[in-house]
Structure 1
Amino acid sequence: MPRFMGFVRMAEGVGTPPQELFEAMDAYIGNQVEKGVFLDGGGLYGTEDAVNYVVREGQVTRVDGPYAEAKEVVGGWAILQYDTVEEAAAEQQEFAELHAKYWPEVTVISTLRQISNGPDNPGD
């Protein structure tokens, strides 16, 4: 069964989502757990404590947050599994629509990507 990673990106420092969104997400995720498609996920804190390791020209450099140049950050993630890509995309749209309904003043980019099973058979 194909697995997917879903994540949401938004501007850094937009504040805490409204309680109504938390409640709607609890119900939505509970339903996804019951259907067996939600495997794991959660929200992420801001970049103030983030650590990046940048590899450039064979050298590794540590860069600690916050990142003034960041326009948007990943705010949450999920590992999901669906029978088809079409089913996964439909569910991701429903997830995005919850944000539009309960937090319309914030721009959120909801992304879905299929998880590869290896270099010889991505997507199998």
Structure 2
Amino acid sequence: MPRFMGFVRMVEGGGMPPQALFDAMDKYIGEQAQAGHFLDGGGLFGTEDAVNFVVRKGETTRVDGPYAEAKEVVGGWALLQYDTLEEAIAGQQEFAELHAKYWPECEMVATLRQVSDEAPEAASA
């Protein structure tokens, strides 16, 4: 059964979601988990404590947050499982529509990507 990763990207510091959204999300996630679609997920803290390792030209550099230049950050994630891509898309749309209904002033992007179950091919040198 195909697995998918859902991401929520939004402007950092956009305020706390209203309680109505938390309540709607608890219900939605509970239903999705009971149906076997929601496997795991959660919200993420802000970038103030984030750590990035940037690789450029064979060098690794550590860059600590916060990141003032970042316009959008990943605010949450979910590991999902559906029988078909179409079902996964419908589920992600329903998730996004909950935000539009219960937090209309929020600007966010809900991204859905399928998880690859195949081993990556090694890059040729």
Residue of structure 2 in register with 1:28 after alignment: 28
- Runs of 4+ in structure 1 deviating by more than 3 angstroms, as ranges, are none
CA distance in 2, matches of 1:57, 1:69: 22
Deviations 1:48-91 (Å, cap 9, x if unpaired)?
00000000000000000000110000000000000000000001
CA RMSD of superposed structures (Å): 0.8
Q: Does 1:101 align with 2:73?
A: no
CA distance in 2, matches of 1:56, 1:79: 30
CA distance in 1, matches of 2:106, 2:37: 27
Output the TM-score relative to the length of structure 2.
Answer: 0.94
**What number of residue pairs does the alignment pair up?**
120
Residue of structure 2 in register with 1:40 after alignment: 40
Amino acid corresponding to residue 19 of structure 1 in structure 2: Q
Deviations 1:13-36 (Å, cap 9, x if unpaired)?
001110000000000000001001
Residue of structure 1 in register with 2:2 after alignment: 2
Amino acid corresponding to residue 7 of structure 1 in structure 2: F
- 5+ unaligned residues in a row in structure 2: which ranges? none
Deviations 1:85-121 (Å, cap 9, x if unpaired)?
000000100000000001110111000000001236x
CA distance in 2, matches of 1:15, 1:44: 14
- 5+ unaligned residues in a row in structure 1: which ranges? none
SS of match in other structure, 1:66: coil
CA distance in 2, matches of 1:14, 1:108: 10
CA distance in 2, matches of 1:6, 1:70: 20
Aligned positions of 1:1-124 closer than 5 A: 1-118=1-118, 119=120
Task: State the identity %.
Answer: 76
